[in-house]
């Protein structure tokens, strides 16, 4: 029974992460503009996920690894969408 609850919590965690990214992409695509979205925040999220994944691999926490890998992939996709709609002349790395 406890594993079923744990599995549900893993799935819920991934779903909420995906949903938050979906909301950002939907807004950016709807407005066709991303001047108010912080790409540096996405870069910090990516670094966070990479550090977490490294620690989870070391400690062999496979559920945690899934929870962190899925949003990392989503974060990379969202960053690409947001960057596409940034104003002309904008650069990710200055």
pLDDT tens digits, one per residue of 3-52: 888 888 888 888 888 888 888 888 889 888 887 788 888 899 999 999 99
Give the range of the structural domain holding residue 25, as residue numbers without chain letter.
2-84
C-alpha to C-alpha distances, 28 to 33, 37, 53, 91, nearest whole angstrom: 6, 9, 28, 18
With respect to residue 92, please indicate whether it lies within any of the assigned structural domains. Answer: no
For the question of whether the overall pTM of this predicted structure is more than 0.85, the answer is no
HSE (side-chain half, CA atoms, 13 Å) at 92: 13
The CATH number of residue 31's host domain is 1.20.1280.290
């Amino acid at each position: 029974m406890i594993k079923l609850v744990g599995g549900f919590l893993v799935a819920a965690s991934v779903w909420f992460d995906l949903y938050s990214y979906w909301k950002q992409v939907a807004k950016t695509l709807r407005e066709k503009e991303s001047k108010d979205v912080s790409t540096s925040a996405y870069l910090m999220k990516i670094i966070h996920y990479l550090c977490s994944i490294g620690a989870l691999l070391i400690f062999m926490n496979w559920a945690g690894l899934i929870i962190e890998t899925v949003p990392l992939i989503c974060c990379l996709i969202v960053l690409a969408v947001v960057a596409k709609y940034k104003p002309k002349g904008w650069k990710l790395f200055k």
